[in-house]
Amino acid sequence: MIVGLASAIWIYLNAASSDRDALGYTPEESKQYLRAMELYGGKANVLAAQLRQWLDSLWHGTRLAYTVACATVLLAGAFWFAAVASEE
């Protein structure tokens, strides 16, 4: 758990401050792009694209640090629960 949380802190401190591209915005967030997505695939297509973007964002920058910290705590809790369950 100590290694995982230390890694999360290191990632957080060394993460790039900007998650945007050189344009200053992401073209996928424009109204025109979202309208075209909805036109071709419906609302489900727009929701699926937003879900994919959210999942992709978990692996970059400061969100990666939060992901590592949460995974560390969940894994440590699972190991602790398995150890307590095996004692009984």
Residue 21 lies in a domain: no
Domain count, the chain: 1
Residue 7 lies in a domain: yes
How far apart CA 68 and CA 76 sit, in angstroms, is 12
Task: List the domain range (segments joined by +) for residue 45.
Answer: 2-15+26-87
Residue 34 lies in a domain: yes
Q: Say what angle helices 61-87 and 2-14 make with each other, to 10 degrees.
A: 170
Tens-of-pLDDT digits for all 88 residues of the chain?
A: 999 999 999 999 998 655 555 666 777 778 898 899 999 999 999 999 999 988 988 888 889 999 999 999 999 999 999 999 988 7
Residue 38 lies in a domain: yes
